[in-house]
Structure 1
């Protein structure tokens, strides 16, 4: 007994060891006072402001290093049995000498194939280690709050209603568990033709952004992904695609025409879910839901904002979902410095923007306008001023929008003009300033607009122009700015509170919608001048070639 007491660690030593191991995994999180797993999970949630409601939520990740253990512990029993059968069929020596769990854990830390189970076992560490390596290479050193809770929830096959601020890493929160689980399914031999995961987004631009992120993580996974558009819908063999990124209209049409089989889909994700429902895609979403008929399909909805009406509609899509909210629901990003700027009448907006640019507004700058015509008109005006500017709107082809976005990302363009829909969910790294040229239609639109800056723990600035006609929506926006520690006049906060159905400003005049009010120079005159300049250049080139 003496020897036993001498070698047994004291209570203080155990506490010190626990604190040391906890700190090594997650240096920024407080250490729980006991070994109780439930308390440890609550410590992580409280520290990262994660609120979870629903039965038996899985514990959040403390670091990416826990992903392998979570993948093993959450794999369905049928999948593990299939893997065991696959190894037996292959004559795996570890299965002959022990059970599958022992064999699965006997591999090296580098995820090597020494166990003979790296490919045959869905719990084998190699696929997850490859993904972890890709995450590290791309600079994703630590999971964000929404990733900490959403990743284990989706791996545990829990349906999810997730709300987190803009720029908080929601894309990785669903891509990582999709990649892990699909690789496990493939290793277990449960691999039918046609897509196994579908991600729905309201715009093609957002889907293209998701594709860029996914392409960073795909190497080494053995999985195939496809961005559904007009070209890929007819030119690709979609039966060989594993992950499909799509918009509702095209996808629902292909499902209805039996051009696409979704019966093998295991993950269905609705990104920017509130916008999908607001835009009237309910019928198309229902068609896609009906097509995803696999008994084990997991559905998840992600968004930065979720009005009560949209949440009630979303719950009709999900079965006993976990509700995960990071921070406060429907609030603006605190990392963004926000202010309101009175510009008088509509004509004052262009003058105010020119003055801000002249005073040294720090690029890159994203400018939001109310319509595609407005975007084109403002684009022309800033071009006249010699500003490196471009615009994206529904009036442009996908190729033109993609080129504008790429130029903005690379720094060739200093100012990008966008409409609400096209700018929704887009992740532009390093945007310093957002200008709301036209006042947002709702607090939700405001949150999404200014969320294009202040992303990934960076700071940003948001300036919102307003005129007299914007008064009906002024108070809720002022409250959002006040909640984010911004300065607003007291009289704005004392404005009459309107009912939700009355929160609309008077309809804009045709001149404003068309963009005509933006111009200070006649458009035709500018076009004629441009034509004369081109004619002169062409004439000079002809003369030089003649000589």
Structure 2
């Protein structure tokens, strides 16, 4: 099937041809006709399946071919709303919709926290066809009256499972009260827990179910491996893998924001240029780190699950779970960053003995046992118990922090002598 077979507007077809799109992905083949037909959809689609085009292209087509249903009295009208859980994903969706609609007069805007409200207000006042936003910033605009959600004809809830994981359910309900009941709703989620399904069926009308891959599954193009290792030697093993195997563009996941910052600094001391992105960073700092990673200036990008949501990195070869995720579903999200668009990727997990229950939960979710391999020189010490692993890990962190502090003090003294 080609995109021409989907009967999209000629201006959209020209744009996607210029972008190099040739054959629709499975989720695009299934979703686009249903959206064009005016159906609500409930789609199970993981990162990298092409879901932005699956909802973006038909919505743009409808706005080009169908007049607005109503006009906002005295206020600029917003016809379409795409709600995303993170700033990175909002920016990614905005960039994609802008590229699809470049041959049209349609206006796309984006609104998320960490950046100036004034710039967003100016864009909204100029009139917007589709607004891409995060929940908190959208409600900020709604409260001050810079956006009227009652004119929304098309509502997209993107990555709904992550929305709920991040505690946005209250904000979502507040937003839903402001949106017109007569609308078309498109619901996308990588996983479908009971809570996600309850939310979906509360906002959808006779939805068409679209599931292009088994829920909670990993892409077949991703090679997965688990390396058991003592907790206090994880950083050492990570540096060895990156250096000895000449890995470039490695996305590394940690559980905590502090852990991501510390690991980036430690890899730097090992001669591996690294940067961290997490919720404590400004949007500008996060974007700079991502740009440097994409350009190759930074070799390892250390991220938390929330900060990494929505990252769009083409041909990413390696994902490393430095810390095993507490939620098994997050493992699927993490490794979904590699092996995209048919390319081959590798997902490496560094597992200490106290994390074995987390691995079992992941294997139960995948209904598969992940291969394990002991690396020579990094074999775990079988005499160390799980509680001792945790204690030694904390002690190692303190020793490294003390050593780094000493290095900085010595550098200061040397500078003074000069």
CA shift, 1:516, in A, is 3.4
Gaps of 5+ in 2: 374-385
Give the match for residue 296 of structure 2: 411
| Preserved CA contact (<8 Å) 1:225 1:241 | yes
| Preserved CA contact (<8 Å) 1:179 1:221 | no
| Preserved CA contact (<8 Å) 2:323 2:350 | yes
1:470 aligns with 2:355: yes
Q: Deviations over 1:61-107 (max 9, x none)?
A: x3211232xx6xxxxxxxxxxxxxxxxxxxxxxxxxxxxxxxxxxxx
Larger radius of gyration: 1
Q: 1:364 to 1:518 in 2, by over 3 A?
A: farther
1:64 aligns with 2:12: no
Alignment of 1:422-461 (within 5 A): 422-461=307-346
Give the match for residue 382 of structure 2: none
1:155 aligns with 2:36: yes
Q: Deviations over 1:270-289 (max 9, x none)?
A: 11110101222111111211
1:308 aligns with 2:194: yes
| Preserved CA contact (<8 Å) 1:375 1:391 | yes
Q: 1:167 to 1:531 in 2, by over 3 A?
A: farther
Q: Deviations over 1:246-287 (max 9, x none)?
A: 111111232244332011111111111101012221111112
Alignment of 1:494-505 (within 5 A): none
Q: Deviations over 1:341-385 (max 9, x none)?
A: 1112x2111111011123224211000001110011011111112
Give the match for residue 252 of structure 1: 139
Alignment of 1:94-493 (within 5 A): 128-186=9-67, 193-229=76-112, 231=115, 233-235=117-119, 236-239=122-125, 240-293=127-180, 295=182, 297-344=183-230, 346-479=231-364, 483=368, 487-488=371-372
Separation in structure 2 between the aligned mates of residue 360 and residue 162 of structure 1, nearest angstrom: 38
Q: Deviations over 1:159-214 (max 9, x none)?
A: 1111123311111111111111111235x796653211111111101111112222
Give the SS at the match of 1:341. Answer: strand
Separation in structure 1 between the aligned mates of residue 271 and residue 81 of structure 2, nearest angstrom: 43
Separation in structure 2 between the aligned mates of residue 525 and residue 335 of structure 1, nearest angstrom: 45
What TM-score does the superposition give when structure 2 sets the normalisation length?
Answer: 0.87
CA RMSD of aligned residues (A): 2.7
**Size of the alignment, in residue pairs?**
398
Give the match for residue 403 of structure 2: 522
| Preserved CA contact (<8 Å) 2:305 2:334 | yes
Separation in structure 1 between the aligned mates of residue 30 and residue 276 of structure 2, nearest angstrom: 36
Q: Which moved more, 1:375-384 or 1:467-476?
A: 467-476
The structure showing larger relative contact order (alpha-carbon pairs under 8 Å, at least 6 residues apart) is 2
| Preserved CA contact (<8 Å) 1:167 1:451 | yes
| Preserved CA contact (<8 Å) 1:370 1:513 | no
Separation in structure 1 between the aligned mates of residue 396 and residue 107 of structure 2, nearest angstrom: 43
CA shift, 1:479, in A, is 4.6
What TM-score does the superposition give when structure 1 sets the normalisation length?
Answer: 0.68
| Preserved CA contact (<8 Å) 1:432 1:461 | yes
| Preserved CA contact (<8 Å) 1:392 1:401 | yes
Give the SS at the match of 2:253. Answer: strand
Gaps of 5+ in 1: 1-61, 72-127, 490-504, 540-547
Give the match for residue 376 of structure 2: none
CA shift, 1:530, in A, is 5.2
Give the SS at the match of 2:340. Answer: coil
CA shift, 1:237, in A, is 4.2
